[in-house]
Amino acid sequence: MPPVAPELISPRSPRVAAARRLARRNFRGKERLFLAEGPQAVREAAGHRGDAGSTLVELFATVEAAERYADIVGQARAAGARVHLADEQVIEDISTTVTPQGLVGVCRFLDTPFEEILAARPRLVAVLANVRDPGNAGTVLRCADAAGAEAVVLTDASVDLYNPKAVRASVGSLFHLPVAVGVPVERAVAGLKAAGVRILAADGAGSDDLDDELDQGTMGGPTAWVFGNEAWGLPEETRALADAVVRVPIHGKAESLNLATAAAVCLYASARAQRASGGCRSVTES
């Protein structure tokens, strides 16, 4: 049987050029499409459906990757995505990574209106206020997913959810839970409070200690954690909106924790408290 040859061999192809432009935010916004790279992200995209149908609309794959990840390619085709076998140079041209893994998907935007998140009465939410680093945003989203959060909210001052670095850092979690974007922090806090959610601002200089919050049994109810900018944290006007400003205790000699690490600690503390006896949900709840 003769070897399979790639159908797309030129970076100048209109299909390739259209995908390559999605590395830029203005084109993503105009087309409401973004790139998902690598087998994990493409697999999750192929299995995700939104109001407009399958989230994955197009897949570019090298011949080698199509053979190695035949199950993912089959899942993409079953989802209705157009699959293109592409030359390695074409994949490198589309990809935003230094070492592409041979699969690049084109996906529909999948953010959720903030009102829908509120209507679902979420019990654990991560709010990213003025988070500018896409890697941090994606990692916090991954932490929120792992901790069992029901939603993530990116304020209007935060990084683009569909930045390729943010998508990669989420490692597929972007496709697992509702994410609202472009919500002013004041509106986010007010809406969550009205939905019965307690607002905790995470700040290294907070007046309340996370250990004390846990010991006092105050974290078993619906909670939203507000995480601030990587460099300067949360401004005073944002801290003032919260029900409490909480610091993660530093027991050793480290000066501080980075954003993603602090978010993981806070979110898991809430998840544990909510699943404990007397919390707002149990480990057996479906």
The helix/strand/coil state of 204 is coil
Query: What single letter denotes the amino acid at residue 96?
Result: T
Q: Judge whether 215 and 276 are in contact, CB under 8 Å.
A: no
Whole-angstrom distance, CA of residue 164 vs CA of residue 154? 16
For the segment 75-126, what is each residue's pLDDT rounded down to a tens digit? Answer: 999 999 999 998 898 899 999 888 889 999 999 999 999 999 999 999 999 9
Strands 223-227 and 124-128: parallel
Tell me which residue of 94, 92, 95, 54 sits closest to 76, measured CA to CA: 54
CA distances from 244 to 122, 186, 202, 205, 208 (A): 19, 15, 9, 12, 7
Q: What is the pLDDT of residue 128?
A: 97
pLDDT tens figures, 233-251 = 899 999 999 999 999 999 9
Cβ atoms within 10 Å, residue 54: 18
Cβ contacts of residue 271 below 8 Å, gap of 6+?
Answer: 124, 147, 148, 149
Q: How far is CA 154 from CA 28, 150, 263, in A?
A: 17, 14, 14
Cα(94)–Cα(123) distance, integer angstroms: 39
User: Global pTM?
Assistant: 0.90
Which has the closest alpha carbon to 191: 147, 241, 247? 241
- pLDDT score at 53: 81
H/E stretch holding 16: helix 14-20
Determine the angle formed by the axes of helices 39-46 and 70-78, rounding to 10 degrees.
30
Task: Locate all alpha helices (DSSP H) within 54-206, ordered by sequence.
Answer: 63-68, 70-78, 88-94, 114-119, 134-146, 164-170, 185-194
Task: Read off the pLDDT of residues 53-72 as tens digits, 9 standing for 90 and up.
Answer: 889 999 999 999 999 999 99
Residue with tokens 């959810």: 161
Percent of the chain with pLDDT over 90: 78
| Tokens 């619906």 found at | 222
Q: For residues 153 and 180, is the Cβ–Cβ distance under 8 A?
A: yes
Pairing of strands 124-128, 82-85: unpaired
Q: What integer is the mean pLDDT of 214-241?
A: 92
Could you give all domains of the chain from N- to C-terminal order, each with its CATH number? Answer: 14-108 (3.30.1330.30), 114-275 (3.40.1280.10)
Q: Tell me: the pLDDT tens digits for 187-207?
A: 999 999 999 999 999 998 888
